[in-house]
Amino acid sequence: MTALLQAEGLTKHYRVARPRLLAPRPVLRAVEDVSFEIAEGETFGLVGESGSGKSTTARLVLRLVPATAGRVEYRGRSVLDLPPKDFRPLRREMQMVFQDPAGSLNPSYRVRDLIEEPMIVHGTPATAAERRERVGALLAQVGLDPSHAARWPHEFSGGQRQRIGIARALAVEARLLVADEPVSALDVSVQAQILNLMRTLKDRHGLSYLFIAHDLAVVKHMSDRVAVMYLGRIVEQAPRAEIWRRPAHPYTRMLLEAVPRAKVPDQRAAAAPPGEIPSPVAPPPGCAFHPRCPARMAICSQHAPVAKEIAPGHLAACHLY
Ligand code: SF4
C-alpha cells in the first residue's frame, strides 16, 4: 500500500473560557493522538458521533487549523511545518467538500466564477478560455448542464449545489478530497445520488477520499477502510468488511446497532446510541467510553487502553483485547 497521506499523533487542544474569575482556562481536547494512513485510490472513512473530533481532524490535515502536536505527511512531505509558499502546490491537490453546500458557495458569485476561482488562485489553467472550457467539462462531469454556468447558486437545489461544490473541489485536479459530512444536509432522496457520483468520480480520476460521516451506513457505502472516533481518539480502525463482520470495540458495536437496516442511507432514521458523549473539557479518566460501556471492567476507569492490532490491519483500543 502506497500511502498518499499519513497522520501521526495528531492532537488539537483549545483553551476555553474560564468557568469563574481567576480560575485557569480549561483545555478542550478536541483531537488526541490520532494516527492513520490513506493509500492512493483509497476511501478512508472517519465515523463517530457529533463532537468526536472528526471535523477537527479534517481541518488539521488541511492546515485549516494549526495542530497542537503531531505530523501529517502528504506524498512523503511533512506538510504542517512547510512555509505557505511551499505548501500551496500540495494544498492544490488536497481539496475539501463541505457539509453545507449552501453555506460554502459564495451567493454573489455565478456558478462559473465559483468553479473558476480555485483555478485562478492556483494559476492553472493559465488562460481564461481554457478555464471556461474546463468549467463546462466539470459541470458535465458532476451531472449538471454546462449551459447553466451563468446561473446563481440559489437557483439550484441542495443536491445540485453539492455537485457544484464537488466540481469546485475538482477544478484544480485534486488527488485527495476531504469530504466532511457531504450528504448530511441533503434530502434522503438525493443522498445516494451524491454518494454514487463521488464513487464514479473517484474511479474516473483515481482520487483518494478522507470521508467523514456520523452515520455508519453512509460510511459503509463509501469506504475501503474505516476508523471510529470517540471523544477525540480513534478507538477502532479496520477494513470495512472487518468492521461490519467483527466489530471489536464496544462503541463500534453500539454505533452499528443504531444503523437502520434500510438499503438507502437515512441518517434521520438512525437511533442515537444510548448515553451522551462526555465533555472534551473534562473527559472521564481511563477509557473515555467507560461511563457508557456495557462491558466495562475495574481497570477501565483507571487506565486508558492503548491501540493494539487484534487482526491484520484491525486496531482496537480496549482492555478487552
Ligand atoms: Fe469498555 Fe473498558 Fe473497552 Fe473502554 S476499555 S471500551 S470501558 S471494555
| Beta-carbon count within 10 A of 21 CB | 5
Q: Write down the CATH number for the domain with range 3-316.
A: 3.40.50.300
- For residue 184, give the 3-state DSSP assignment: coil
Which residues are near ligand 1 (CB < 6 Å)?
249-250, 287, 289-290, 293, 295-297, 300, 305, 318-320
Cβ contact 214:183 at 8 Å: no
Tallying the residues shown for the chain, one arrives at: 321
Q: Which atom of ligand 1 is nearest to the CA of 287?
A: 4
Q: Which atom of ligand 1 is nearest to the CA of 300?
A: 2
What are the tens digits of pLDDT across the range 244-274? 999 999 999 999 987 765 444 444 444 567 7
Alpha-carbon gap, residue 44 to 123, rounded angstroms = 30
Ligand 1 centroid, distance to 289 Cα (angstroms): 6
Q: Which atom of ligand 1 is nearest to the CA of 319?
A: 5
Segment among 22-26, 111-115, 193-197, 225-229 with least mean pLDDT: 22-26
Ligand 1 centroid, distance to 258 Cα (angstroms): 19
- Ligand 1 binding pocket mutation candidate from 230, 297, 303 (most atoms within 8 A of CB): 297
List 209's β-bridge partners, or say none.
43, 177
How many angstroms separate the first and last alpha carbons of the chain? 26
Across residues 10-34, what is the average pLDDT?
A: 91
Ligand 1 centroid, distance to 265 Cα (angstroms): 29
For the record, the C-alpha cell of 56 comes out as: 477537527
Contacts of residue 196, defined as CB under 8 A and 6 or more positions apart, other chains included, come to none
What are the tens digits of pLDDT across the range 191-245? 999 999 999 999 999 999 999 998 888 999 999 999 999 999 999 999 999 999 9
Residue nearest to atom 3 of ligand 1 (CA): 318
Across residues 13-29, what is the average pLDDT?
A: 88
Ligand 1 centroid, distance to 239 Cα (angstroms): 21
DSSP assignment of 58-105 = HHHHTTSS--SEEEEEETTEE-TTS-HHHHHHHHHHEEEE-S-HHHHS
Is the previous residue joined to 83 through a cis bond, with omega within 30 degrees of 0?
A: no
- The domain spans of the chain are 3-316
pTM over 0.85: yes
What are the tens digits of pLDDT across the range 44-100? 999 999 889 999 999 999 999 999 999 999 999 999 999 999 999 999 999 999 988
